[in-house]
Amino acid sequence: MSKRRRWLAIVNPTSGAMRRRAFSDFWMRRLRYAATKIAICERPGDAASILADERDFDGIAVVGYGTVFDMLPALDAGTQCLTVFPAGRGNSLARAFGFDAMAKAMAALWDGVEQPMDLLLLRITHGDGRVEQKVCASAIAIGYDASVAARADDFPGAGRHGYALAGLVTAPKKLSLQLGYDGEALRSRMLTGLVIGNISHVAQHCRFPQARLDDGRLHAMELEAPRLRQVAGNLALLAGANPAGPSRSARRVQVQLQAPMPLMVDGEILDDVLEFSVDCVASAIVCNRGA
């Protein structure tokens, strides 16, 4: 059982389902009774500032998934517990926590289970030589999945099917890269994409069914599907299937690209990435999941 915590709900009103007035009004009324305090993000990047100013709360409930990426650097791993409500488009982290509905996530504030959760440490070298470091909670992708994530906003009324619809109009393209796992020598690969995750879900689909929140491993899927096979896979996703391809488990992945390209990080797009590495940070934070 989760211990009784003082929950700060950080709400992104522009994310996914929160854009629908009926959904937002209904669940905001209920959230006012379930959480200790509600804070609204008014601009990109607000989540980290809110969290830095609100240190009296030992539970952080994020409503709107893209907000997790913004606030993770400000989360106090020693004292604060994280939970996520499925109010975005893909809701991958909420689904990995066992929350496929808002009511389940809200109930878990009182009767959920707390456990350690791994995070991903991402180090990036940009095409202009800039180097930066990011902390991620779920997925990193280049190629096809990154292109799909970038185009999903073209379908604002599609709800949870936005990613799948974007996939139908996005053509896979071969990209050349150098790839290595766990310190092995980099090898040349021609792929249509690469997806790296530390949880079971990518968007609303279970891409890594073997993944656990605290297994101390990351999981990588190398994509090589041509257009017709990719379209067939997307149609299967729209029909409700979750076709999971072969994947590899590791503690570290290193990638060197032939030319700079966009990188998808927890649903956000980072441009002009030339090289990156991803390390799994075991039991980095505490999360609150469904019982």
Mean pLDDT per 10-residue section of the chain, whose length is 291 residues: 82 82 90 93 87 91 84 92 90 92 93 96 97 95 90 70 73 93 96 94 86 96 74 61 75 97 93 98 96 83
Structural Rg of the chain based on CA atoms: 18
For CATH 2.60.200.40, the residue range(s) in the chain are: 119-284
Rounded Cα distance between 216 and 201, Å, is 16
Query: For position 8, what pLDDT does the model report?
Result: 96
Whole-number pLDDT of residue 42: 85
**Which one is the CATH code of 119-284: 2.60.200.40, 3.40.50.1010, 2.40.128.20, 2.70.150.10?**
2.60.200.40
pLDDT at 64: 77
User: Hey, which residues does 187 pair with through a beta bridge?
Assistant: 179
Residues forming CATH 3.40.50.10330 domain(s) in the chain: 7-111
Residues 6+ apart with CB under 8 A from 130: none
Tell me, what's the pLDDT at 270?
A: 94
**pLDDT value of residue 241:** 62
pLDDT of residue 263: 97
Task: For residues 246 and 72, give the distance between their C-alpha atoms in angstroms, rounded to a whole number.
Answer: 30
- Rounded to whole angstroms, how far apart are CA atoms 197 and 175? 20
Alpha helices by DSSP H, listed for 54-151, are 66-71, 92-96, 102-111, 144-151
Domain 7-111 fold is Rossmann fold (3.40.50)
pLDDT, residue 89, reads 78
